[in-house]
């Protein structure tokens, strides 16, 4: 172990860091959430705002997280604390790390519920349950499944057990081994599916037009906030997941280049998912604005109508399951690493502890579509909806502002220059975006959404 290595282990190469970070970024956010929020918010114009957020806010903040993680070589909480102190600032900056670890719990608590639905859909599609199905059958199957508290609970628990298992095995044997095999498989499957949608649906151009025709009248500040929240969520930013992974990244590799690569991969997967889903939706005369059920109702229905749909539908949900598990392990990493550092516990104990807490919190989300479907936390939002809305649209962007301010203004310039020396031509652009553009843009969106309501 080199003197500058993390006690938790290290990625064996830059490529492995990229696969792990892309594994974190590419997930349900890309395949389940992006198409349905784009659909609900009218397509094109929303996508354009989302892309602007990725490039102007997302990439600079991702580079900031990698920078802080790699310079700190510890869990986000301790990295923020010790770097703040080394920079002559208050140790109170560790609050950003705390907020992030908490956000990880909140996100995984609903994320694992959806991932559980996905696992059960692998079996359902593979067994041919949707072959020749009509809209009623697809809808009733979905409602019947999510309405059954026991089956939702079972799959949700299974997904958490899997997450704990991989996490407990450690950075090298657990995390790296998982992403090394799953991510390349995921990319291949996705390309196969885009070709399948393009060839068999006959409505590919309609899907393309839906994603890329810009109708600005449909855009409100509320939908701009959702586009921005989606950008944070899809890139895993604002809560320390990428920071935690950055702590295991080898020195002397470019940070901005790596962040850009990861963001491009993530954006590519989101757009490609849209290009699988919307042509199938239009080919079958379905609603693009169907909401969270889009992937679980319209897609099985579409696959049920198409040649080879049983096979390709099953493959599709396997791909989504892969994407979900490589993201879930990054959601617990900040908390797990901190427990190992602070309590000197083993990773096995830390992973079990975090898994148990997430499971408890997640009961609220698992039961939001059945036992607790009439219990509203804020307005008309169930526990599930509240966790999703609050983390995406408030906690992550807020965390992002503080991370940008910390990396841009607070961090000792010697540390910053040293980490960024591999990025010279882009360093000033990054610094400008991080110091000014990202914090100001996020603040404006917050204020305008608030004023408009």
Q: Which residues bind ligand PFF (CB under 6 A)?
A: 24-25, 27-30, 107, 233-234, 236, 239, 241, 327, 330-331
Q: Which distant-in-sequence residues (6+ apart) come within 8 Å of 47 by Cβ?
A: 38, 211, 212, 271, 274
User: 344 in helix, strand or coil?
Assistant: coil
Q: Nearer to ligand PFF by C-beta: 49 or 270?
A: 270
Distances 312 to 92, 191, 283, 305, 316 between C-alpha atoms, Å: 51, 12, 16, 12, 6
Least gap, CB of 32 to ligand PFF (angstroms)? 8
- Helix count and strand count (H, E) for the chain: 22, 0
Neighbours of 378 (CB within 10 A): 11
Distances 207 to 9, 39, 321, 420, 442 between C-alpha atoms, Å: 43, 11, 24, 40, 30
Least gap, CB of 238 to ligand PFF (angstroms)? 8
Q: Nearer to ligand PFF by C-beta: 246 or 309?
A: 246
Neighbours of 425 (CB within 10 A): 7
Q: Nearer to ligand PFF by C-beta: 226 or 241?
A: 241
CA distance linking residue 246 with residue 21, whole number of Å: 9
CA distance linking residue 37 with residue 255, whole number of Å: 30
Q: Nearer to ligand PFF by C-beta: 27 or 292?
A: 27
Q: Nearer to ligand PFF by C-beta: 101 or 438?
A: 101
Least gap, CB of 151 to ligand PFF (angstroms)? 23
- CB burial class (10 A; 0-12, 13-18, 19+) of residue 375? exposed
Least gap, CB of 392 to ligand PFF (angstroms)? 9
Least gap, CB of 425 to ligand PFF (angstroms)? 28
- DSSP string covering 227-242, please? HHHHHHHHTT-SSSHH
308-314 own/partner pairs: CB under 8 Å, 24+ apart: 308/196, 308/200, 309/130, 309/131, 310/125, 310/126, 310/128, 310/130, 310/131, 312/192, 312/193, 312/196, 313/125, 313/130, 314/122, 314/125, 314/126
Q: Nearer to ligand PFF by C-beta: 43 or 399?
A: 399
Q: Nearer to ligand PFF by C-beta: 120 or 234?
A: 234
The helix-helix angle for 59-72 and 396-405 (nearest 10°) equals 60
Least gap, CB of 236 to ligand PFF (angstroms)? 4
User: Among candidates 172, 98, 110, 131, which has minimal Cα distance to 307?
Assistant: 131
Least gap, CB of 3 to ligand PFF (angstroms)? 29
Sign of the dihedral defined by the CA atoms of residues 269, 43, 237, 406, in that order: positive
Least gap, CB of 29 to ligand PFF (angstroms)? 2
Least gap, CB of 216 to ligand PFF (angstroms)? 26
Neighbours of 394 (CB within 10 A): 15
Q: Nearer to ligand PFF by C-beta: 24 or 87?
A: 24
Q: Which residue is nearest to ligand PFF (CB)?
A: 29
Q: Nearer to ligand PFF by C-beta: 93 or 111?
A: 111
Q: Nearer to ligand PFF by C-beta: 122 or 323?
A: 323
Least gap, CB of 100 to ligand PFF (angstroms)? 8
Question: Bridge-partner residues for 381, per DSSP?
Answer: 378
Least gap, CB of 179 to ligand PFF (angstroms)? 13
Q: Nearer to ligand PFF by C-beta: 306 or 331?
A: 331
Distances 298 to 32, 142, 452 between C-alpha atoms, Å: 12, 10, 33
User: Among candidates 107, 86, 142, 92, which has minimal Cα distance to 300?
Assistant: 142
């Amino acid at each position: 172990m080199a003197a500058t290595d993390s006690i938790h282990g290290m990625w064996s190469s830059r490529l492995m860091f990229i696969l792990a970070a892309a594994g974190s970024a590419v997930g349900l956010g890309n395949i389940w959430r992006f198409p349905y929020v784009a659909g609900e918010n009218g397509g094109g114009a929303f996508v354009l705002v989302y892309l602007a957020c990725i490039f102007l806010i997302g990439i600079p903040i991702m580079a900031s997280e990698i920078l802080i993680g790699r310079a700190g070589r510890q869990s986000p909480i301790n990295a923020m604390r010790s770097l703040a102190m080394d920079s002559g600032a208050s140790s109170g900056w560790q609050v950003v790390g705390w907020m992030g670890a908490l956000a990880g719990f909140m996100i995984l608590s609903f994320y694992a519920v959806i991932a559980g639905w996905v696992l059960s859909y692998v079996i359902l599609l593979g067994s041919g349950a949707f072959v020749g199905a009509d809209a009623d059958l697809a809808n009733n199957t979905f409602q019947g499944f999510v309405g059954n508290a026991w089956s939702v609970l079972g799959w949700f628990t299974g997904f958490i057990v899997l997450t704990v298992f991989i996490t407990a095995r450690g950075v090298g044997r657990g995390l790296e081994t998982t992403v090394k095999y799953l991510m390349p498989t995921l990319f291949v499957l996705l390309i196969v599916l885009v070709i399948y949608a393009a060839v068999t649906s006959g409505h590919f151009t309609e899907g393309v037009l839906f994603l890329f025709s810009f109708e600005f009248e449909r855009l409100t500040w509320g939908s701009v906030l959702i586009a921005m929240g989606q950008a944070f969520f899809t890139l895993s930013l604002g809560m320390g997941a990428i920071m935690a992974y950055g702590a295991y990244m080898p020195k002397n590799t470019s940070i901005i280049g790596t962040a850009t690569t990861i963001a491009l991969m993530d954006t590519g997967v989101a757009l490609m998912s849209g290009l699988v889903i919307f042509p199938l939706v239009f080919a079958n005369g379905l609603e693009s604005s169907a909401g969270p059920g889009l992937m679980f109702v319209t897609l099985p229905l579409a696959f049920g109508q198409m040649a080879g749909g049983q096979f390709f539908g099953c493959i599709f949900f396997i791909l989504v399951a892969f994407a979900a598990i490589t993201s879930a392990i990054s959601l617990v990493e900040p908390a797990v690493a901190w427990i190992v550092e602070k309590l000197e516990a083993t990773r096995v104990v830390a992973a079990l502890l975090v898994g148990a807490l997430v499971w408890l919190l997640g009961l609220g989300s698992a039961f939001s579509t059945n036992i607790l479907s009439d219990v509203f936390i804020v307005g008309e939002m169930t526990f599930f909806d509240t966790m999703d809305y609050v983390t995406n649209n408030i906690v992550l962007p807020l965390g992002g502002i503080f991370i940008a301010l910390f990396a841009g203004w607070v961090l000792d310039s010697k540390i910053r220059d040293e980490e960024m020396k591999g990025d010279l031509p882009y360093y000033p652009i990054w610094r400008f975006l991080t110091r000014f553009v990202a914090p100001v843009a996020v603040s404006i969106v917050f204020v305008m959404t608030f004023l408009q309501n």
